[in-house]
Structure 1
Amino acid sequence: MLSNAPPLRSVGRDPDATILPRSTWPATLAPIAQLLDHGLDLGPVTVFVGDNGVGKSTLVEAIAGAYGMGPEGGSTGSRHTTRKSESTLADHLRLNRGLGAGRGGFFLRAETMHGFFTYLEHNPGGKDPVFHERSHGESFLDLVVARSRYPGLWILDEPESALSFTGSLALLSILRDIVEARGSQVILSTHSPILASIPGAVIYEVGPWGYRPCVWKDLDLVRDWRSFLEEPERYYRQLL
């Protein structure tokens, strides 16, 4: 009988690991320090939004690494790597797993997908299409669909970089199906107000203060996009 528990309930500092000095990156980032001090509760869908450089990707990368996924993307146990650039944060985290939940998962990272697609071509393991023969956005959606039949933990880092408006809506629909119909859990880092609007998500706004829960309509991301779309000329005047 399958468990209804999510793969992850929370994540925090591993008390048995060596202490990561707060003067050492990435503990110098406020969200990472907050994670180590207070931990982080996760829902069936957890979304992180915030500006560039605040620590969103570092945070989700470390959760993926602690779960056993390769830092450049792939399934649990993936060893695909081209250049080591990830932090050591994963080594300092303890995961509170759901009782009886499966341990499978997949990490989709926008900035490393070209190399991952090449890795899949050289190491075929199923009936995947040749992703390099598809457009950037099509290959992203194809990969999610191909892997969505396997329930588990899905971690996605800024997937909107490959997607148009309609592509983002398509991914939103796929992610809803992954959670509602297939019993998976999603952790998403995004700059997209479309993807951040996934129903039922726990949304954390990430910034120099750390991370804090926020409802979609009150996100700076949403307010800024709405303001720009209503009057782009005002932003042009400020730039010029």
Structure 2
Amino acid sequence: MFLKRIDLQRERISSYKEYPFSIPAIKSFHQLKLTKNVTFFVGENGSGKSTLLEGIADKCEFNKAGGGRNNAYDLHASHSALGDYIRLSWLPKVTKGFFLRAESFYHFASHIDDVGAREAYGGRSLHHQSHGESFFSLFTNRFKGPAIYLLDEPEAALSPQRQLSFLRIIHDLASSGEAQFIIATHSPILLGYPDAAILSFDEEEITEIDYEMTDHYQITSYFLQHREKFLREILEG
């Protein structure tokens, strides 16, 4: 464990009527303690989970478009609305790590080509691999501890089988004590990782919940067990 606590510097906020402080989970946020090597952020789109993850990446001085401290490239509208208002507490502090934004991974891949760093990612351009293959090239070549990894919807390019394989990568790194993961996800497969902390942003406060309490588990489970009834309710109701 490296990052122990996240504090919102509320004395610096002039108004809670403007984004991102108008988001209910952010408006009520004071302090968040991290107790596990693997922490998941869950919630509907717009609930604030990616906003907080971006803020953490900003304070880590990772490229907010995706990358680590040494990946210097610009992407329009790549900024953190929360980074200037949070404080991170470390023990010990690490500077190595990576911020993955699935939505801007294309630009990160272009940056790697531009700086001639293909060899560090398996020797092939990330653009010359499928989306899922390129993600795995990143995971297997770049993810090495001690480091902190901030991942925003890494399942976006991964098949269910690849997600299971990614769980093994998380396990190998996190169980060694050399890596910490904070992952914003909608994947019921990734959320099943054992002994992880799952923090929900869906209510007015950020709350730790059990796996079986997540909408991701409940909706997926209900659909698989009652597919015809579920579809009938959705499509004909």
Contact in 1 for aligned 2:98/2:150 (Cα 8 Å)? yes
Contact in 1 for aligned 2:65/2:78 (Cα 8 Å)? no
1:196 shift after superposition: 0.9
Deviations 1:55-93 (A, max 9, x none): 111111111111111111101243322212434210111
Number of the residue aligned with 1:223: 218
Which of residues 103, 107, 111 in structure 1 aligns to 2:103?
111
Deviations 1:10-56 (A, max 9, x none): 111236x7325211100011121233xx2111121110111222111
User: Aligned partners of 1:203, 1:46: CA distance in 2, in Å?
Assistant: 6
After the TM superposition, list the runs of 4 or more consecutive aligned residues in structure 1 that deviate by more than 3 angstroms.
none
The 5 Å alignment of 1:1-240 reads 6-14=1-9, 18-35=12-29, 38-42=30-34, 43-99=36-92, 101-125=93-117, 126-128=119-121, 129-181=124-176, 183-240=178-235
User: Aligned partners of 2:229, 2:55: CA distance in 1, in Å?
Assistant: 39
User: Aligned partners of 2:21, 2:80: CA distance in 1, in Å?
Assistant: 10
Residues 131 and 67 of structure 1: CA distance in aligned 2, closer, same or farther (over 3 Å): same
Contact in 2 for aligned 1:68/1:77 (Cα 8 Å)? no
What SS does the aligned partner of 2:200 have? Answer: strand
1:213 shift after superposition: 0.5
Contact in 1 for aligned 2:199/2:207 (Cα 8 Å)? yes
Deviations 1:96-142 (A, max 9, x none): 0113x422111111101011100110013453231111110111011
What SS does the aligned partner of 1:185 have? Answer: strand
User: Aligned partners of 1:108, 1:79: CA distance in 2, in Å?
Assistant: 14
Residue 61 of structure 2 aligns to which amino acid in structure 1? G
Aligned residues: 231
Contact in 2 for aligned 1:76/1:104 (Cα 8 Å)? yes
**Structure 2: any 5+ residue segments left out of the alignment?**
none
State the TM-score, normalized to the length of structure 2: 0.91
**Structure 1: any 5+ residue segments left out of the alignment?**
1-5
**Percent same amino acid at aligned positions?**
33
What SS does the aligned partner of 1:102 have? Answer: coil
Deviations 1:127-178 (A, max 9, x none): 3231111110111011011112242110000011101010100111101111
Residue 74 of structure 2 aligns to which amino acid in structure 1? T
1:208 shift after superposition: 4.1
